[in-house]
A and B are shown apart, each in its own frame.
Chain A
């Protein structure tokens, strides 16, 4: 069991999908129940990972390694470290909750909907587990297909356009990544005489700096599209806005994290010299800062509720990439943690929108106002998610942003200054949104029909709210999980970092630095 736990985790949703396909499509209730059970089972089987995961091991855990295509040196090679652990748990939780949230929202083609969702879930989980680049690429590509359908079939008015735009954008990035992968693979084979895609073997390859830089950008474009980074973000507002609620939730919650994950798992460790090259760092930092400020400014101007949240994602993900490219422990850990935070608070924001959309079928901010009068629980949860998103102390966003700012400050004071500007703007557009939709008198009579949250909807949101508070109030466990993998990345790009700064190296010194925030 323990040695195959990762396979079990990613295959559970897939098995659920196949069971679902056998059910008659007329019986919608049965399909819903089975799909929710499958997704919940997916969450349950991922829980042991949390208990079995050992923070003191720097290496990959729960490793499974079987040859898949010997002729190409491709292996079925799974394994996780702290970074993957957090993202896998995020996926199983958010994935289940988004399936649960679709109970009444999806009335047409129910069977297909849940089948695609479970398939998507399996693909995303595979992405976070694969330690073989080829396997990673397969998961990365195949999950585009169900997402395309989820946006394209159950989305809003401009869904066809948004779906194909999402698909082509990501595909264009990933074929470039494929070339970079192949070039690295070939280089490794030239030096070692062995064809392999295993990342720890590829890390041993000596790649000259100019080639590293080419390959780095090859990988980077794929990941930057996914993150998405300015100026490759234009697919995101369309996809987010047009997707059905659960689609937006999963897009914001998990899919965007795949870009961050790719950066820290592949780009930076595989090509450390290119990643730490001063020009590269400057370019990425500037793009991140533009994303932060530009995303926030555009959010301020939005009239569409969903689009506002979509652009806020651009801004928030800019923080994450800024932290990661600071290439120091605080920056990277903060970047990843902030990715997780965004994966908790933005789904909440989308779920909140989904609840009123389901009843009113309107997404313009101007259509709402004064909802607090009718929907107190709803308003409370919305407020919490807004505060979490804008970085209020006591909630998760604060911890992430603070850690990123520490990392950025350490690297370059100007970066931190711009990032702070982003935080201020973030508070502005989010609070303004809250004010326009929730506060004041209820002017639009159509809103009279709105009802407060029911039990199922509370159940959907409560876990996310609790997780937000957990990170906000006591983030220690999260940092402990991230400590060793982050140190490994820092070792790759800057081997002298720890000795130069007199900080104990969590990999070699055996000192347990309890939390990066408290050190």
Chain B
């Protein structure tokens, strides 16, 4: 009989173990030492350890290819390494933005960073899981941590409301997901993705059981990636949450959910591709339509970005709707560049204050160019990237998605997606207009801490760097899908 827990198991689980240890460590030291300022630093050290562990994963994948552990329920492959790195980068950015922001909000407590790491542990399990129960546990670990973090500003009504909405709708979606998973278990007698793949391949494509399983699973995941019509929680949750958490939710949790989605739909469900591709196409189209149009009239920056992030989720979903290698490459690359552009914008928002209160309206940015030309220009880079204007990084994500759609022959989706780029440019340029064109008697006040500055500059620099020299990043995205899914 195999030993219960081998070194391979440990190796594969290492990122999640490290994250949990550091998370617990922060809770303990915060309780014992009462030295709030060390929490963020401890969390960053933890991220450093995780990065090293991921580097070992990376070496291992290069040498041995895909590796399974824990009885085939967890995997290490190019895909998991890629996404884990994405989680590390976004967690680091979120932590350094948060350290100042939470101080200002007088809520800088150890639990906050602990929860961030726990959420990330859940994400790594989602990216590495190769079995339905494992994936589900990862998802719940992430989601539960986020429910608390979204409501972390206990004295703010908005934050509480956001957490409540997020919790209720999130729990509902988990129910859908669990239901779908249970049907998969029913038709295959196993929760392992490879075994389910065999069972699904053996079934008729018109099998109603299969269809129910597929639809309920999709619905559960659609909630998590906030696509229409399951997006309603996003604007409220984004607006109410502390800004660093808004950024973290919109990037990392979405990336993790997409990773899980890709695993499920490209391993067990790949044989019924023609069943879910049109579904995803339709949902993506609806999402882009609603996200872009609703964003047009928003005055609150965080709400605007919530809708913009909904529409970005639509674009990313188009990559799955294309269903070919180019489209999948597009998803990886899109998520990679999305970290930087989104975090950069949120870093700036988190630094916006007016008389000690967080200022979050577009008008609060009026005249930024006068007072802080440097920030205004960095922000311009990020917004152009979000709009997908070359040579910014955001363009390449759309490039691959459109190319994938054209290769798959989905011309109408490609045209719709392309035209929505112009629509989205309108609302991104409302922000640009406020910064550069509007005169304000009381110009915007931005007071970033050192961490926020680093996050903002690093995000903008990466956005521009990936845009001007995308080669290594495209190769990374290519590697991420080559080893894993087919």
Chain A interface residues toward B at CB < 8 A: 69-72, 112, 137-138, 141-142, 144-145, 148-149, 152-153, 159-160, 163-164, 167-168, 171-172, 175-176, 178-179, 182-183, 185-186
CA distance A71 to B469 in the complex (A): 11
Asked if B451 is at the interface of the complex by the 8 Å CB criterion, the answer is no
Q: How far is the CB of B57 from chain A (nearest CB, A)?
A: 23
CA distance A167 to B421 in the complex (A): 12
CA distance A85 to B429 in the complex (A): 34
CA distance A153 to B438 in the complex (A): 8
Q: How many A-B residue pairs have CB under 8 A?
A: 76
User: What residues of chain B lie closer than 8 Å to A70, measured between beta carbons?
Assistant: 471
Q: How far is the CB of A72 from chain B (nearest CB, A)?
A: 7
Please, could you name 10 A-B residue pairs with CB atoms under 8 Å apart, sorted by A?
A69-B469, A69-B471, A71-B475, A71-B478, A164-B433, A167-B429, A175-B422, A176-B419, A179-B406, A182-B399
Q: Which residue of A lies closest to B407 (CB)?
A: A186
- Not counting A145-B380, A164-B426, A168-B425, a sample of 14 additional A-B residue pairs whose C-beta atoms are within 8 angstroms of each other reads A69-B471, A70-B471, A71-B471, A72-B399, A138-B391, A145-B384, A149-B437, A171-B421, A171-B425, A176-B418, A179-B402, A179-B418, A185-B403, A186-B406
User: What residues of chain A lie closer than 8 Å to B469, measured between beta carbons?
Assistant: 69
Known A-B contacts A69-B470, A153-B437; the reply to A141 vs B390 at CB < 8 A is: yes
CA distance A392 to B262 in the complex (A): 67
Known A-B contacts A70-B471, A112-B369; the reply to A152 vs B437 at CB < 8 A is: yes
CA distance A362 to B478 in the complex (A): 59
Among A71, A112, A137, A148, contact of B474 (Cβ-Cβ < 8 Å): A71
CA distance A141 to B384 in the complex (A): 11
Among A112, A145, A160, contact of B389 (Cβ-Cβ < 8 Å): A145
Known A-B contacts A71-B471, A183-B406; the reply to A172 vs B419 at CB < 8 A is: yes
Does A179 contact B415, Cβ atoms closer than 8 Å? yes
CA distance A137 to B402 in the complex (A): 15
Does B425 contact A182, Cβ atoms closer than 8 Å? no
**Residue interface mask B440-463, A partner, CB < 8 A = 1:** 000000000000000000000000
9 tightest CB-CB pairs across the interface, nearest first?
A: A175-B418, A172-B422, A71-B474, A138-B390, A171-B422, A152-B437, A175-B421, A138-B391, A182-B403
User: What residues of chain B lie closer than 8 Å to A144, measured between beta carbons?
Assistant: 389
Among B403, B414, B419, B429, contact of A164 (Cβ-Cβ < 8 Å): B429
Which residues in window 315-361 of B have CB below 8 A to A? none
Which residues in window 378-434 of B have CB below 8 A to A? 380, 384, 389-391, 399, 402-403, 406-407, 414-415, 418-419, 421-422, 425-426, 429, 433
Q: Which residue of B lies closest to A149 (CB)?
A: B436
User: What residues of chain B lie closer than 8 Å to A152, measured between beta carbons?
Assistant: 433, 436-437
Known A-B contacts A69-B470, A152-B437, A171-B421; the reply to A176 vs B407 at CB < 8 A is: no
CA distance A71 to B97 in the complex (A): 34
CA distance A168 to B430 in the complex (A): 12
Q: Which residue of A lies closest to B425 (CB)?
A: A171
CA distance A425 to B246 in the complex (A): 60
Among B402, B419, B429, B437, contact of A182 (Cβ-Cβ < 8 Å): B402
Q: Which residue of A lies closest to B475 (CB)?
A: A71
Among A142, A168, A179, A185, contact of B414 (Cβ-Cβ < 8 Å): A179
Does B429 contact A148, Cβ atoms closer than 8 Å? yes
Q: How far is the CB of A113 from chain B (nearest CB, A)?
A: 12
User: What residues of chain A lie closer than 8 Å to B384, measured between beta carbons?
Assistant: 145
Q: How far is the CB of A498 from chain B (nearest CB, A)?
A: 37
Does A69 contact B437, Cβ atoms closer than 8 Å? no
CA distance A169 to B122 in the complex (A): 44
User: What residues of chain A lie closer than 8 Å to B421, measured between beta carbons?
Assistant: 171, 175
Q: How far is the CB of A108 from chain B (nearest CB, A)?
A: 10
Q: How far is the CB of A247 from chain B (nearest CB, A)?
A: 14
Does A142 contact B471, Cβ atoms closer than 8 Å? no
Does B389 contact A142, Cβ atoms closer than 8 Å? yes
User: What residues of chain B lie closer than 8 Å to A69, measured between beta carbons?
Assistant: 469-471, 474
CA distance A178 to B399 in the complex (A): 9
CA distance A186 to B399 in the complex (A): 12
Does B389 contact A182, Cβ atoms closer than 8 Å? no
CA distance A186 to B411 in the complex (A): 13
Q: How far is the CB of A519 from chain B (nearest CB, A)?
A: 43
Among B403, B415, B429, contact of A186 (Cβ-Cβ < 8 Å): B403
CA distance A182 to B471 in the complex (A): 18
User: What residues of chain B lie closer than 8 Å to A160, measured between beta carbons?
Assistant: 433, 437
User: What residues of chain A lie closer than 8 Å to B426, measured between beta carbons?
Assistant: 164, 168
Among B422, B437, B475, contact of A168 (Cβ-Cβ < 8 Å): B422
User: What residues of chain B lie closer than 8 Å to A171, measured between beta carbons?
Assistant: 389, 421-422, 425
User: What residues of chain A lie closer than 8 Å to B414, measured between beta carbons?
Assistant: 179
Q: Which residue of B lies closest to A111 (CB)?
A: B373
CA distance A186 to B406 in the complex (A): 8
CA distance A282 to B414 in the complex (A): 29
Does B425 contact A167, Cβ atoms closer than 8 Å? yes
Q: How far is the CB of A222 from chain B (nearest CB, A)?
A: 11
Q: How far is the CB of A149 from chain B (nearest CB, A)?
A: 6
User: What residues of chain A lie closer than 8 Å to B399, measured between beta carbons?
Assistant: 72, 178, 182
CA distance A419 to B380 in the complex (A): 45
Q: How far is the CB of B481 from chain A (nearest CB, A)?
A: 14
User: What residues of chain B lie closer than 8 Å to A182, measured between beta carbons?
Assistant: 399, 402-403, 406
User: What residues of chain A lie closer than 8 Å to B425, measured between beta carbons?
Assistant: 167-168, 171
Does A137 contact B436, Cβ atoms closer than 8 Å? no
**Among A164, A172, A182: residue with most chain B CB under 10 A:** A182
Q: Which residue of B lies closest to A173 (CB)?
A: B422
Q: Which residue of B lies closest to A169 (CB)?
A: B422
User: What residues of chain B lie closer than 8 Å to A149, measured between beta carbons?
Assistant: 436-437
User: What residues of chain A lie closer than 8 Å to B418, measured between beta carbons?
Assistant: 175-176, 178-179
CA distance A71 to B399 in the complex (A): 13
CA distance A112 to B369 in the complex (A): 10
Q: How far is the CB of A68 from chain B (nearest CB, A)?
A: 8
Q: How far is the CB of B307 from chain A (nearest CB, A)?
A: 18
Known A-B contacts A138-B390, A152-B436, A168-B426; the reply to A175 vs B406 at CB < 8 A is: no
CA distance A365 to B437 in the complex (A): 29
User: What residues of chain A lie closer than 8 Å to B402, measured between beta carbons?
Assistant: 178-179, 182
Does B391 contact A142, Cβ atoms closer than 8 Å? yes
Does B474 contact A72, Cβ atoms closer than 8 Å? yes
CA distance A107 to B389 in the complex (A): 30
CA distance A366 to B414 in the complex (A): 50
User: What residues of chain A lie closer than 8 Å to B380, measured between beta carbons?
Assistant: 145
User: What residues of chain A lie closer than 8 Å to B406, measured between beta carbons?
Assistant: 179, 182-183, 186
CA distance A112 to B389 in the complex (A): 21
Q: Which residue of B lies closest to A176 (CB)?
A: B418
**Among A71, A148, A159, A163: residue with most chain B CB under 10 A:** A71
CA distance A213 to B94 in the complex (A): 49
Q: Which residue of B lies closest to A187 (CB)?
A: B406
CA distance A137 to B391 in the complex (A): 9
Q: How far is the CB of B285 from chain A (nearest CB, A)?
A: 16
Q: How far is the CB of B328 from chain A (nearest CB, A)?
A: 15
Q: How far is the CB of B419 from chain A (nearest CB, A)?
A: 6
CA distance A330 to B422 in the complex (A): 37
User: What residues of chain B lie closer than 8 Å to A142, measured between beta carbons?
Assistant: 389-391
Among B419, B436, B471, contact of A153 (Cβ-Cβ < 8 Å): B436
Q: How far is the CB of A323 from chain B (nearest CB, A)?
A: 30
CA distance A152 to B384 in the complex (A): 16
User: What residues of chain B lie closer than 8 Å to A141, measured between beta carbons?
Assistant: 389-390
Q: Which residue of A lies closest to B426 (CB)?
A: A168
CA distance A179 to B419 in the complex (A): 10
Does B403 contact A175, Cβ atoms closer than 8 Å? no
Q: How far is the CB of B394 from chain A (nearest CB, A)?
A: 12
Q: How far is the CB of B451 from chain A (nearest CB, A)?
A: 26
Q: Which residue of B lies closest to A183 (CB)?
A: B406
Q: Which residue of B lies closest to A153 (CB)?
A: B437
User: What residues of chain A lie closer than 8 Å to B471, measured between beta carbons?
Assistant: 69-71
